[in-house]
Structure 1
């Protein structure tokens, strides 16, 4: 039997990398992506389940469904902090096996209780919270892959790992669409979705056991995270990730519900015009099923596009710098949010019904927003290793010791940033819930999101792109502790300049 423990791993050793290290890294990346992919699907399982839960059967209104979507997002975000150190503490292979198996709990509970329509809302909230296990997988997976790849390839590798995982959101929505199209949206048909993922969870755990490895020279030390958090731009990166990943996962949960509400209003308006009572009653009865099908036909496209372009965001960040790509992304997200808010405003003037050009505008703007979140996710993630690679040059020690410090500190911060980003998804669902509760519309929420993207763009420019003054650069070393960067702009500009040079040379 193959030994799955690697005692000494140095991704920056070019000779060892070319002699077989890259094959080991690729094998671990493939199964890390698969396991994380399934984790994301389980994390977002309730974005699909709510399409099988008509209000007249489960007695959960749209606001309640938005909150149900927010709960697993919150729990998954919190779990990302301890999950960050888990791969170093227990081994990447060992932890992937365990964390994949853990997903059986929420999936089995969902399978049982979705067939019990009289279950209390509190019980569904608890089951939704357990689905948060899937969200924690992102942090452990990203930290693990960060250790396997050299600095020059981290943008691509982390983007591929995260993007492949993110596809778990549209994947389960596609499975849900297939079930609704083939069998209908009756609540008991949701069992097929759960059954598919029970098989995939088992496949992920078995694949990790057979093909992944443990890096024994990784260090599990929360001190690295505390050290990373003393670097000022770490907080700025976390804030920006709220805007990119928070939007991706938040709208990944909410997009289908927003569409479902709009289609329901449209179909009810059409049914109300039918003169024959029996035909009107039949049309009203069919509203829930048709609305769920129409919503499912569109909802998966946005998360799918956002997931597919995430590696592209990382690749662009490798070439021209994560800060530039991030700034351009937030400018585009602001424009997309304005279009969504305008379309929603027009729908409000027609009883919440988005028809024709208004619906087209709403969907296209949402798809653009999803694409931009994917690009932004890849770019923001690339900032993390760039910053700490540059900072490591000021740490006393050999080049190898500096690389280890950079790897462990960046890995620790990835989990924290991932947790922060997930909280953005919670905020999106809660703001939408509040907007629907107070105005019966999402328009107010969309204007709030637009304003937040403007703030993110300003923060990105001010912290990572504004050229530091000569005085600021001169004072930074004197004001800083040896292990702390206080001049964010100078460090990131240096890191991204080095990264661009490396990428150009390797191309």
Structure 2
């Protein structure tokens, strides 16, 4: 075994490529990890969080902007407002697929630099749109779509950071990485109203540009590429991973957790405004995303200790009860109950986000190493590397599907509002969906199956 030194991160690696490339990386080796692996991983995690955080800030820009468009001379219907918050989600979800595979093709550090600089585009377009309030609605839709670039950052960041940490220690760092991004939703919704009051709506675009440049510079100076994993995924490999039953099941579960988080985050302000006309939405809109983001590392930590499957199962039950409570609040027009129940649901989305992302690498490792004897160390090492690579790709694909789920949730609310003049029907449907997720979690991972000749559940196997 060779310990990692700073020499491996200097200008030219074994493959002859320039940049901060690391040629030897074995985080599952305890000595390697204790020696220098933990330090390098923590450094890359910190600056990955910075760029992902800014990506979420830009992605959710329109969720706060739509509450102030009328003051800027742009009057829209409820349906048009919901489309302006839905399209960024739709584009961001779609971009998560190519963003997933970008670190493997270009290097994690290199792509983090590029993804930070790409955030300048939606910010500049937003400034132009606000300074020209007579733009037609289709032009506003295009400007809103551009903020989807911020949504793609999550997939590339999570896919990249997965490679830096040991499989049995990924719950907390992945939770921190994701929470650092998720909290960008709350930061945008909390800090922007005072800026808008002081400098106008255009401040929403200007404020993120210098920060994106800082993030790109930090990635350039302090992050690393891993040459051992920077092999582009082939279309055949992507297709094979996407068709795996566990990829499909976990995608559905992630719709229930992250799809709910991002769908509610985009819609929360509009829902408050339509259901409780006397409440100032901008005073509360940021709370949901903050609670959900803060709960994500907790979900990862609980999953590391109790198992991702157990946490996910009970969490979906909690989500179901929370949505029923929201329905009761809407029916009785109780604002305190509405706010409390919605914050509970936001918290459960965060816990579920952390626990499901802990499950994914554990599932692939368990499946790849099932049946291997302890004596066959080389076969086990190859299986672990294959599992890590496939789990990284699956995480990106699953995160994309989850973000698409956010679009479905937004559209569920839009249809319910337009056809029933309320959100009760949408809430009943969501409660039923979370019930389906409870059943899927039990059937897929808590029910006993044969793994490596031994009958046990995947939860018992450490998933």
SS at match of 2:24: coil
For the residues of structure 1 that align with 2:309 and 2:27, how far apart are their CA atoms?
25
Once the two structures are superposed, the pairs formed by residues 228-239 of structure 1 within 5 Å of their partners are 228-239=241-252
Aligned to 1:112: 128
Partner of 1:85: 101
Instruction: State the alpha-carbon separation in 2 of the partners of residues 112 and 301 from structure 1.
Output: 29
Deviation string 1:406-443 (CA, Å, 9 cap, x unpaired) is 11000000011001100111011111111111122222
Quick one: distance in 2 between partners of 1:369 and 1:72? 23
1:33 aligns with 2:46: no
Structure 1, unmatched stretches of 5+, are: 267-290, 348-357, 478-486, 500-507
**Number of residue pairs the alignment of both structures matches:** 440
Contact 2:275 2:422 in 1 (8 A): no
What does residue 346 of structure 1 align with? 332
Distance of 1:432 and 1:67 partners within structure 2: 11
Are the aligned partners of 2:72 and 2:130 in contact in 1 as well (CA < 8 Å)?
Answer: no
Measured after TM superposition, the shift of residue 176 of structure 1 is 1.7
- Identify the structure with the greater helix proportion: 1
Deviation string, structure 1 residues 367-389 (Cα, Å, up to 9, x no partner): 00000000000001111000111
Alignment of 1:213 onto 2:213: no
Q: Indicate conservation of the 8 Å contact 1:387/1:491, yes or no.
A: no
* Distance in structure 1 (CA, Å) of the matches to 2:399 and 2:181: 13
Please tell me whether the aligned partners of residues 176 and 296 of structure 1 are also in contact (alpha carbons under 8 angstroms): no
Deviation at 1:177, TM superposition (A): 2.8
Contact 2:52 2:157 in 1 (8 A): yes
C-alpha RMSD over aligned residues: 2.1
Match runs of 1:196-345 below 5 Å: 196-218=207-229, 219-222=231-234, 223-263=236-276, 265-266=277-278, 294-345=280-331
Partner of 1:484: none
Match of 1:278 in 2: none
CA contact (8 A) 1:37 1:164 kept: yes
Partner of 2:171: 155
Distance 2:420 2:118 in 1: 40
Name the CA distance, whole Å, in 1 between partners of 2:419 and 2:243.
Answer: 40
8 Å CA contact 1:390–1:494 kept in 2: the answer is no
Q: Distance in 1 between matches of 2:243 and 2:370?
A: 15
1:54 aligns with 2:70: yes
1:197 to 1:463, Cα distance in 2 relative to 1, 3 A: same
The structure number with the bigger radius of gyration is 1
Q: Which residue of 2 aligns with 1:390?
A: 366
Q: For 1:98 and 1:210, how far apart are their aligned partners in 2?
A: 14
Matching residue of 1:464: 445
Unaligned runs of 5+ in 2: 1-8, 12-19, 373-377
Q: Does 1:366 align with 2:342?
A: yes
Conserved 8 A contact 2:254-2:353: yes
2:398 to 417, 420, 433: 417
TM-score, length-scaled by structure 1: 0.83
> 1:464 and 1:17 mapped to 2: Cα distance?
30
What is residue 170 of structure 1 aligned with on the other side? 186
